[in-house]
């Protein structure tokens, strides 16, 4: 019986990978894969390592598991495989989670791997390491896998799997950048739905914590992220982390955390550790300039005070966000002011500031009624497009090119590029702003402590048993 299931699983994986490479709405294939849910329910995910020589993996395991490892090879028949053992960590109240980091990967190679729990093997998956500095990433936000019941998990997981297949048909993707609200209530079942598509096991899947991920406690369980930095006041569910890919440094911030001091120290350390990397990209959940819901504007105002000076001081090229579900591309901004507009189709050379993007949601359209286009610092989009958009970002040493598509549409919706010449001199952050920011950051840190206490109470009220100290610091 087990052997029959194994053969079926391998067949399904091959079929789905083939479907993933073509623009299909492969609902029937997804149904078959869902039925074979022993594999899909493990929540196997591959995430970036610290750089291209590493990949991080995690998956759920039964509570009585005693060992976990990955077998990996450059040969599809798994000849000369090597075994990399993992760490066993606790899932919330019960099962275990495997966390494995595979190092010493070679650029421009295809790797095949299986995840092993005690002596039980997963299907075989594969991934590519990129050569040189050019690669393509998929940037999305607000996937909102929703576990109101099994049907909603399935519907939202299938919609996301469809979007991944559509995006993969347009580009040779190697990385997923997901700017938060992966789940609606932060539940394990939702993260299992998130990792339903086999593409979450062949593309490095970088996530950032959103306000909805913070409604439960499972976010840190399914993740295995590199260079994590909890700072002084991280939330129970996670902190900041960074990784390098090609010539880009990705700084992933927990924007639920108002501790400007933590964010400042984290970005400074990461930038100092990677001084020669050309592009600096921040990914975080909360949009600073793109919000179009009036009550969100006060939250954005506070976050702008805390975070925009960090983008200015460290010359961040691009900030990828979500939260509002309204697609937008900001002006090039520095010190809150417009340096230049971003025209559709344009190339911005030596920007002199930062572009802030909001991706629309993957499948959760906003009811536009009562919402108003808010910011006058937006160059493209805003009030109309709230779901089924995604962005392919091509990175190279020469340029970052962002191209936005609607699922299933033939033509690109928006496209623009950023370039920098070798003699580009970024704006200098003034000493006055530095002193003022330090003060604001400290106030934000005090606020974050009280915010975490409030969140701790909310989680307790929802029945979660968590440690007070871990929830606050
Ligand atoms: Fe959202
Ligand atoms: Fe959100």
pLDDT of residue 39: 64
Answer yes or no: do 115 and 168 share one domain: no
Within a domain: 44? no
Residue 443 CA to residue 441 CA, distance in Å, equals: 5
Residue 325 Cα to ligand 1 middle (Å): 6
Answer yes or no: do 248 and 119 share one domain: no
Within a domain: 254? yes
Closest CA to 187 of 149, 151, 150, 146: 146
Answer yes or no: do 155 and 271 share one domain: yes
Per-residue HEC secondary structure of 8-21 comes to HHHHHHHHHHHHHC
Residue 414 Cα to ligand 1 middle (Å): 22
Residue 201 Cα to ligand 2 middle (Å): 25
pLDDT of residue 174: 97
Residue 184 Cα to ligand 2 middle (Å): 9
Residue 234 CA to residue 254 CA, distance in Å, equals: 8
- Residue ending a domain, among 129, 162, 195, is 129
Residue 405 Cα to ligand 1 middle (Å): 19
- Residue 108 belongs to domain with CATH number: 2.60.40.380
pLDDT of residue 344: 95
DSSP 23: -
Residue 11 Cα to ligand 2 middle (Å): 37
Per-residue pLDDT of the chain (473 residues; tens, 9 = 90+): 344 344 445 445 555 555 555 444 455 788 888 887 666 668 999 999 999 999 999 999 999 999 999 999 999 999 999 999 999 999 987 899 999 999 999 999 999 999 999 999 999 999 999 998 999 999 999 999 999 999 999 999 999 999 999 999 999 999 999 999 999 999 999 999 999 999 999 999 999 999 999 999 999 999 999 999 988 887 778 789 999 999 999 999 999 999 999 999 999 999 999 999 999 999 999 999 876 677 777 888 889 999 999 999 999 999 999 998 889 999 999 999 999 999 999 999 999 999 999 998 988 877 666 566 667 899 998 766 777 899 999 999 999 999 999 998 989 999 999 999 999 999 999 999 999 999 999 999 999 999 999 988 999 999 888 888 888 77
- Residue ending a domain, among 400, 419, 438, is 419
DSSP 214: G
Residue 280 CA to residue 277 CA, distance in Å, equals: 8
Within a domain: 446? no
Answer yes or no: do 231 and 118 share one domain: no
Answer yes or no: do 114 and 214 share one domain: no
Residue 444 Cα to ligand 2 middle (Å): 20
Chain-centroid distance of CA 307 in Å reads 18
- 124: which residues sit within 8 A by CB, 6+ positions away? 10, 13, 76, 78, 112, 113, 114
Within a domain: 400? yes
- Residue 169 belongs to domain with CATH number: 3.60.21.10
Answer yes or no: do 74 and 201 share one domain: no
State the number of CA atoms in the 13 A half-sphere of 312 facing the CB.
21
Inter-CA distances, 467 with 77, 443, 457, Å: 46, 25, 11
Strands lying side by side in the sheet with 45-48: 45-48, 55-61, 96-102, 87-90
Closest CA to 306 of 357, 244, 241, 255: 255
Residue 24 CA to residue 166 CA, distance in Å, equals: 7
Please answer whether residues 354 and 329 qualify as being in contact, where contact means their C-beta atoms are separated by less than 8 angstroms.
no
Please answer whether residues 132 and 107 qualify as being in contact, where contact means their C-beta atoms are separated by less than 8 angstroms.
yes
pLDDT of residue 34: 83
Residue 350 Cα to ligand 1 middle (Å): 32
Please answer whether residues 125 and 113 qualify as being in contact, where contact means their C-beta atoms are separated by less than 8 angstroms.
yes
Within a domain: 460? no
- Residue ending a domain, among 375, 395, 419, is 419
Note down the domain range covering 108: 53-129
- Number of the ligand closest to the Cα of 365: 1
Closest CA to 322 of 354, 288, 294: 288
In the block, which residue shows the tokens 């009036």?
294
pLDDT of residue 337: 95
Within a domain: 297? yes
Query: What is this structure's pTM?
Result: 0.93
Answer yes or no: do 146 and 284 share one domain: yes
Answer yes or no: do 169 and 101 share one domain: no
Answer yes or no: do 177 and 210 share one domain: yes
pLDDT of residue 160: 95
Within a domain: 291? yes
Element (H, E) at 340: strand 337-340
In 334-347, which positions are buried (b, 16+ CB within 10 angstroms) versus exposed (e)? beeeebbebeeeee
- Number of the ligand closest to the Cα of 359: 1
Within a domain: 354? yes
Residue 172 Cα to ligand 1 middle (Å): 27
Residue 265 CA to residue 231 CA, distance in Å, equals: 8
Residue 318 Cα to ligand 1 middle (Å): 20
Read off the tokens for 84: 């990399």
Answer yes or no: do 299 and 217 share one domain: yes
pLDDT of residue 203: 97
* Total number of domains constituting the chain: 2
Per-residue HEC secondary structure of 34-51 comes to HHCHHHHCCCCEEEECCC
Residue 362 Cα to ligand 2 middle (Å): 12
Residue 144 Cα to ligand 2 middle (Å): 9
């Amino acid at each position: 019986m087990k052997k029959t299931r194994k053969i079926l699983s391998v067949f399904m994986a091959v079929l789905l990978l083939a479907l993933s490479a073509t623009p299909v709405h492969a609902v029937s294939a997804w149904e078959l894969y869902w039925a074979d849910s022993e594999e899909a329910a493990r929540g196997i995910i591959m995430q970036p390592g610290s750089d291209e020589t590493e990949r991080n993996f995690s998956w759920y395991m039964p509570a009585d598991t005693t060992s976990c490892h990955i077998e990996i090879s450059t040969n599809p028949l798994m000849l000369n495989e090597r075994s990399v053992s993992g760490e066993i960590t606790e899932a919330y109240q019960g099962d275990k989670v495997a966390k494995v980091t595979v190092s010493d990967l070679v650029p421009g190679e295809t790797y095949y791997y299986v995840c092993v729990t005690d002596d039980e093997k997963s299907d075989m998956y594969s991934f590519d390491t990129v050569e040189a500095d050019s690669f393509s990433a998929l940037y999305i936000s607000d996937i909102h896998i929703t576990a109101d019941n099994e049907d909603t998990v399935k519907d939202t997981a299938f919609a996301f799997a469809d979007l991944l297949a559509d995006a993969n048909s347009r580009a040779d993707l190697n990385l997923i950048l997901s700017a938060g609200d992966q789940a609606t209530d932060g539940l394990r079942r939702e993260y299992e739905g998130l990792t339903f598509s086999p593409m979450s096991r062949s593309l490095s899947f970088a996530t950032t914590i959103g306000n909805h991920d913070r409604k439960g406690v499972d976010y840190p369980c399914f993740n295995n992220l590199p260079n994590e930095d909890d700072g002084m006041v991280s939330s129970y569910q996670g902190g900041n982390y960074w990784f390098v890919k090609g010539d880009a440094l990705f700084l992933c911030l927990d924007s639920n955390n108002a501790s400007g001091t933590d964010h400042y120290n984290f970005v400074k350390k990461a930038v100092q550790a990677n001084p020669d990397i050309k592009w600096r990209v921040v990914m975080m959940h909360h949009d600073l300039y793109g919000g179009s819901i009036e009550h969100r504007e006060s939250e954005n105002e506070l976050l702008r005070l805390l975070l925009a000076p960090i983008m200015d001081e460290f010359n961040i090229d691009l900030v990828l966000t979500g939260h509002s579900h309204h697609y937008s591309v900001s002006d090039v901004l520095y010190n809150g002011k417009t340096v230049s507009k971003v025209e559709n189709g344009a190339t911005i050379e030596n920007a002199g500031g930062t572009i802030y993007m909001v991706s629309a949601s993957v499948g959760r359209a906003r009811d536009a009624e009562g919402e108003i286009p808010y910011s006058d610092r937006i160059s493209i989009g805003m009030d109309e497009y709230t779901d089924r958009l995604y962005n392919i970002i091509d990175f190279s040493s020469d340029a970052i090119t962002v191209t936005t598509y609607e699922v299933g549409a033939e033509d690109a919706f928006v496209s623009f590029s950023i370039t920098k010449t070798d003699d580009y001199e970024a704006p200098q952050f003034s000493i006055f702003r530095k002193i003022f920011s330090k003060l604001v950051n400290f106030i934000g840190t005090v606020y974050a402590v009280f915010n975490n206490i409030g969140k701790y109470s909310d989680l307790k009220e929802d029945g979660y048993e968590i440690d007070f100290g871990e929830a606050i610091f």
